[in-house]
Structures are given as C-alpha cells and as structure tokens.
A and B are shown apart, each in its own frame.
Chain A
Amino acid sequence: MAKYLKQDDLGSWLKELGKTYKVIAPVEEGDAVIFRPLTDERTLRIDRQATQGPKGVLFPACEELVSFKYGKDPEKPEKVTVDIQETVDAEPTLIFGSRPCDARGFDVFDNAFTKCSVKDSYYMARREQAVVVSLACTKTETTCFCNWVGGAPDGKGGSDVLLTPITGGYLVESVTDKGAALLDSPLLSEATGEHTAEAEKLLAAARESLREAPDFKCVPEQLYNLFDNMDFWEKQAAKCLSCGACTYLCPTCHCFNITDEQQGNQGSRIRSWDNCMSRLFTEEASGHNPRPTKAHRLKNRVGHKFCYFPDMHEGHIACVGCGRCIKSCPVALDIREVVTAAKECRLPEEETADD
C-alpha cells in the first residue's frame, strides 16, 4: 500500500504520531545532526545523513541495568542486606528519518540480541515498542556503499515504513503491519501512479549512482587466512588512531562494558558502549591482552563485521555500508579499502605455490 504525504503536512503527521509515540528524529545540534526527541525548538534535518545513526534509541550509550542499595539488617547488625531493582526503560517510540542503512543496523542488533540463546531483555523491550520510519536516499554520498553489503538506498530491511522524497512531498510505503497502522492518518492520501513512477525513477538513479559492488563472497575466508598476517594488519592500521569514533558512529557496533557506579551505600550497575578500538576492550584480569596493538584491534573490527558475524548469522554482514566510519574518521581511514585489500591480498604460500 502506498500513500502520499504533502511536504507541508509532514510536521502535522509527526505531531499526530507524537500522541502515541515518543518521536525521535535527526535534528540540528551545533554543527552536527543527531537523533533527539523531536520538540518545537528543534530543527529537523533530513537533507543530509545524520552524523550518528539512531542506534542509541534502542541501545543507549549508557543505561542502568539494576540499581542497588546496601543496608543493615536491624535484627543482625553484622549482616549486610542488598536491595536490587531491575530497571526496565521502554516506551512506545517512533524513530523517524533513519536512512535505510541505519534501519538495517537494527537487523544486526536483532541477530545479536534477540536471536541467540541468550536474549537481551532490555533491548528486546525497546525493540518491541519501536517503530522505524525511514527515508529512502535519492542522493548518495561518496562514502555510501550499502549496495556492497546487501542493502540499497531504498532498502526496506529493519524499517516499518519507507518514505521517498518526491516533488512536493513523500511517497509513503508500509513495510510491516506495525508500519501500516501509521498510514491510517487522514493527512495521507492515496498515491497516484505518477507519484510511484517518480519515486521509482529517483531511486533507480540513486542505486545507479553508487559504485559497483565488488563480489565479497571470498572475504570471510580471506580474513581467516590473514588472521596471523600481522604485517598486513599493521600496514592497514598504520594511520588509525585507535580512537573508536568509527565504532560509536556505526549503526551496527554493539559491544558494551558493564560497571558498578557506587556512591556511598547505593549505586547502579550500568552498561555503556565499549569498542574494540580501545585497548581496555579485551584486557584480561591477569593483565594479558589478546588485542595489544591497534593493528590487532582493526583486525577485530573488520573481522567481526565481515567474517565472524556472518559466520554466526547466516551470512549476514555486520556492516550496512553507511560510510560513517569513513566520513567521520579523523584520518579518513576507509574500511572499503581494508576489505578490498584483504580480498586481493595474495598470501605468501599462494605466491610460492605459483612459482
């Protein structure tokens, strides 16, 4: 089912949806574009890709898992009591204005948090109450490569509704039943053949504008082959600062740290984003660190996305090609180049076998 929404009615539609949902959308903040609860004071910015995707809406940068309080048993003062409260924080939420790649990032999260034997109840509670309204891309950026990793500028994975900007408004298509319910609004009218034809034309041009997708089939195997080739990884990681900006901006990165933050007798156990570019990421209590250098860490990041994750989740690559790790990397390290280099790297054994 496809509908049409006039540009002038977008605000009203979001207001209307705001009665049922907490609406989170990309807004201007300083020189960045960030997903925030939409309010009258904030300016919606959907003309360029947000600096950071909306992953924090479902997987917050920091969340309290439980709060705890130590006390004394009045009967037996030597005994310490602990009162623990689980914190579940989920409400009906509408994510508006994510790009198709951002939405696909939630597929990766679903695989990691809801489809394994251990389910993440915090994420699941939020995911169940969330509805994702994405905006198809009619312009692609130099860093975009969704088509390399199974997506598209009009990809529907992870979205409940897909909007395509056309003359004077949007073509609005529902992807899931959850999404279809949003299209009941009187502000939307039936889309005409002209609307759909224009959208298809713009989207075809957008798909066309992306660089041709290389064949990535052999990549997991190549990455395993290169696992011990530290010379390769050191060269690839030479310019990396090991800062982690790439992972915090990435719509698919989902590693976290858990710490107890205590003041006096009470505190909370929090989960906060962690990332494999940080040295402390895998430091063991013994002091041993399996990823002691930035080269080991870059290997982990690329390996996790293009090899280990697909291995565990039916070939699903854990990169959606949004290009943020390239665009916002302080040194413009390009993950496409690393994967391509891995793909093309001839191993020393192969060379000798040929000789």
Chain B
Amino acid sequence: MLDQLKETIKKALPELDFVMGWGMGFDALHATPLFMYEPEDVDKLVWGPLNIQNLATYLPSLKGKKVGIVVKGCDSRSVAELLQEKLVNRDEVVIFGMACQGTVNLTKVREIVGNTGLVEDVKYENGKLTVTADGQPHEMLLKDVRADKCGYCRFPNAVISDHFVGEERAPQVEEDTFEDLKEFESQSFEERRDFWMKEMDRCLRCYACRNACPLCVCRDHCVAQSRDPHWVSQQDGIRDKFMFQIIHATHMAGRCTNCGECERACPVDIPVLLLKRSFNRAVKNTFAYDAGLDAGATPPLLAFKVNEDNIKEKEW
C-alpha cells in the first residue's frame, strides 16, 4: 500500500511544488513531516500508526503554491473544513487519501516504556507495537496506546481525496457518544474547576496548541499576544492562561474537526481537547452538524438562519 502511495505521488509530483507526507524523525518512535520536492524524497515516505502529525496545518500558509498532501481520515476533515472556509483553494491542493488504522499517543507509550528518550527500535505488525528501549522490548496493542480520538473515530477513510490509495476500513464506531465528556462531567463543579486549575498551572503560554491546530488561522495576529491593542494580559496566572484556552475553544466552535493536534502538540500534556469536545457536542446537539465532512457546506456559526431548526425560539 505504501508502495502504491509512493507511485501515485511520484506520478503527480511533476505538476506540484511539493507533496507533504511523513518521514522517519530523530528516532524510530518519532515520525516527522516530510516535504517531498524530488522523486528521491518520496522514497523516504513512511506510513503507519506513528504518522501522528496533521499536515493540513500547513495548508493555509501555502496559498498560491500548488501542493500535494497525504491525509488520514481526521486530517482529511481538516482539509475539507479549510476548503469550506476558503482558507485553501481547491485547485491548489492535490489530496492523497488513505485509510487509517489509528495513531499512537506517545504519552501512553511513555507510560509503558518509562522513558521514550531511550527508544532504540519500533516494530508494528498486526495491531501490535513492539518498542525496544534501553535494551528492553515492550509489547503493546495499538488499541491500548492509540490516541483517544481514534477510539471514537467515525471517519478512518479520507472524506475527500483526489487519489484514494488502498482499501477502505470500517469505522471504529457508528456514533460519537462523547463518553469521555460524560465521564468528566460526572464530577462536581468544584472537582472540575480544581482539575483545570491544576492542569493550566503548568501551561507555558507557548501556543503550540494554537499553531498546531489547522483551523487556528489568525496565529500571527492572535489576540493572545497582540500588543496594540493589548487585548490579553501577558501575565502567567492560571486565569490568564485559561483565558487563552477558552478563546481558542470558542474560536473553534463549529469548526473543530476533533483532530486532536492541539492536545498532542502541548509539550506539558494538558488535555485541552476536552474543552473543544464540549463545544463540538454543543454544536452537534444544536445544529446537527459535524465539521469538515462536506467541503461545500458552511459552518453553522459562519451562517445565519432566521429560524434555526433546533432552536425553537418562537415556542419559548
């Protein structure tokens, strides 16, 4: 399947500035975005559950170039959403879609391995990952270390593509029932508040969560750092830091495709996706809408309907 993908990319490459995929990073556990300019670069392409980065993040800054992009299911939704919002032009991007088997959450691997800085080798076969670290092999099932988002993934196959390579896969679940949120919300208000105060305490205000998010497109002009006007305090109190997360989450309402990049990018493992999940559920319940499924649709909060189907204003 990887060979077939390489072939397809090589064929398309002459018409494109470059194609984005994944290569092996600084060790066997870390994949890294690969920018393929020449056919030789395509030979470095890898595919597997370690291809965790969502390359759609790069697309808005590449407007004006003609590029290719390899996508998993969730990544393809980000591309669709970017197309919807006209942040990317359809004729400037060639999408190579694949069916995804799930991606690995490196924090979970660390919990098993102890120190992922000592990894020497990684093998993946039949849903089983073997990570050798400090001379010690550790076996684990992908389903035990995969990203949480993969557990409720309904779209493992690219929802939009110009070239779909390989076989389609059956989704994990039919419906996302937001079990994770329900579990979190079963706690009292105080418990939940304390949880966030504790988690946000170690936020570095580094904005990796923002820059990794494919739909956080103000980036360079973000209110969190703007100097004139000086919207948000530069202090690093928990409230100041939480304020930024709330801004991010609200700006994503109805647009967030649940790709999880914000949370994955966080160097201190703050579970910020939970906040976005809450907005995603609200949008789903209110507008019966899932972001990033139809490149022709308009996100509900970017549209205006005098009478919303699910908001029975007149009956209040």
B134: chain A residues at CB < 8 Å are 139
A61 touches B205 (CB 8 A): yes
A326: chain B residues at CB < 8 Å are 26
Tally A-B pairs: CB < 8 A: 140
B208 touches A332 (CB 8 A): no
In the complex, per-residue mask of A311-335: 1 if CB is within 8 Å of any chain B CB, else 0: 0000000000001001110111110
In the complex, per-residue mask of B179-213: 1 if CB is within 8 Å of any chain A CB, else 0: 00000000000000000001101101111101110
B236 CB within 8 Å of chain A: yes
A142: chain B residues at CB < 8 Å are 26-27, 117-119
A257 CB within 8 Å of chain B: yes
B227 CB within 8 Å of chain A: yes
Q: List the B residue with the shortest CB-CB distance to A289.
A: B220
Asked if A257 meets B269 with Cβ closer than 8 Å, knowing A48-B114, A332-B26, A333-B32, the reply is no
A201 CB within 8 Å of chain B: no
Q: How far is the CA of A244 from the CA of B206 in the complex (A)?
A: 6
Counting contact residues on chain A (CB < 8 A from B), the size range is 35 or more
Q: Shortest beta-carbon distance, A100 to chain B, in Å? A: 15
A327 touches B25 (CB 8 A): no
Q: List the B residue with the shortest CB-CB distance to A31.
A: B269
A30 touches B199 (CB 8 A): yes
A330 touches B110 (CB 8 A): no
Neighbour of B234 across the interface among A47, A270, A328, CB < 8 A: A270
B114 touches A272 (CB 8 A): no
B90 CB within 8 Å of chain A: no
Stretch touching chain B among A68-76, A114-122, A156-164, A233-241: A233-241
B35 touches A245 (CB 8 A): no
B39 CB within 8 Å of chain A: no
B205: chain A residues at CB < 8 Å are 61, 248, 272-273
Q: How far is the CA of A238 from the CA of B35 in the complex (A)?
A: 7
Q: How far is the CA of A31 from the CA of B199 in the complex (A)?
A: 10
B212 touches A243 (CB 8 A): yes
A29 CB within 8 Å of chain B: yes
Q: List the B residue with the shortest CB-CB distance to A323.
A: B117
B206 touches A330 (CB 8 A): no
Q: How far is the CA of A245 from the CA of B204 in the complex (A)?
A: 8
Q: How far is the CA of A345 from the CA of B203 in the complex (A)?
A: 38
Q: How far is the CA of A76 from the CA of B102 in the complex (A)?
A: 72
Which one of A29, A32, A245 has the highest number of Cβ atoms from chain B below 10 Å of its Cβ? Answer: A245
Q: How far is the CA of A32 from the CA of B111 in the complex (A)?
A: 11
B268 CB within 8 Å of chain A: yes
B211 touches A139 (CB 8 A): no
A259 touches B269 (CB 8 A): no
Helix, strand, loop or mixed for chain A's interface? loop
Stretch touching chain A among B3-11, B259-267, B290-298: B259-267
B234: chain A residues at CB < 8 Å are 62, 257, 259, 261, 270, 272
Q: How far is the CA of A332 from the CA of B115 in the complex (A)?
A: 17
A147 CB within 8 Å of chain B: no
A98 CB within 8 Å of chain B: no
Neighbour of A280 across the interface among B31, B114, B225, CB < 8 A: B225
B206 touches A243 (CB 8 A): yes
Asked if A30 meets B26 with Cβ closer than 8 Å, knowing A47-B115, A139-B118, A141-B117, the reply is no
B312 CB within 8 Å of chain A: no
B258 CB within 8 Å of chain A: no
B117 touches A239 (CB 8 A): no
In the complex, per-residue mask of B114-155: 1 if CB is within 8 Å of any chain A CB, else 0: 110111000000000000001000000000000000000000
A259: chain B residues at CB < 8 Å are 227, 230, 233-234
In the complex, per-residue mask of A238-254: 1 if CB is within 8 Å of any chain B CB, else 0: 11011111011100000
B84 CB within 8 Å of chain A: no
Q: Shortest beta-carbon distance, A238 to chain B, in Å? A: 5
A49 CB within 8 Å of chain B: yes
Q: List the A residue with the shortest CB-CB distance to B62.
A: A238
B76 CB within 8 Å of chain A: no
Within 8 A of B (CB), among A299-355: 323, 326-328, 330-334, 336
B89 CB within 8 Å of chain A: no
A61: chain B residues at CB < 8 Å are 204-205, 236
A24: chain B residues at CB < 8 Å are none
A243 touches B210 (CB 8 A): yes
A62: chain B residues at CB < 8 Å are 234-236
Asked if A243 meets B211 with Cβ closer than 8 Å, knowing A52-B204, A333-B32, the reply is yes
A278 CB within 8 Å of chain B: yes
Q: List the B residue with the shortest CB-CB distance to A278.
A: B225
Neighbour of B220 across the interface among A31, A51, A272, A279, CB < 8 A: A279
B35: chain A residues at CB < 8 Å are 235, 238-239
Neighbour of B206 across the interface among A143, A248, A279, A331, CB < 8 A: A248
A331 touches B32 (CB 8 A): yes
Q: How far is the CA of A34 from the CA of B212 in the complex (A)?
A: 22
Q: Shortest beta-carbon distance, B248 to chain A, in Å? A: 13
A332: chain B residues at CB < 8 Å are 25-26, 30-32
Which one of A239, A242, A279 has the highest number of Cβ atoms from chain B below 10 Å of its Cβ? Answer: A239
Pick 21 A–B contacts, CB within 8 A, sort by A: A30-B202, A32-B202, A52-B268, A62-B236, A243-B207, A245-B265, A248-B205, A248-B267, A249-B267, A259-B227, A270-B234, A278-B207, A279-B221, A280-B225, A328-B267, A330-B211, A331-B32, A331-B53, A332-B25, A333-B32, A334-B25
Give the top 5 A-B pairs by smallest Cβ distance, nearest first: A141-B117, A243-B211, A330-B265, A332-B25, A31-B269
Q: A52-B267, A245-B265, A332-B26 are in contact. List 13 more A-B contacts (CB 8 A).
A: A30-B270, A34-B268, A141-B117, A142-B117, A242-B211, A244-B206, A248-B204, A270-B235, A272-B236, A280-B226, A328-B267, A330-B53, A334-B25
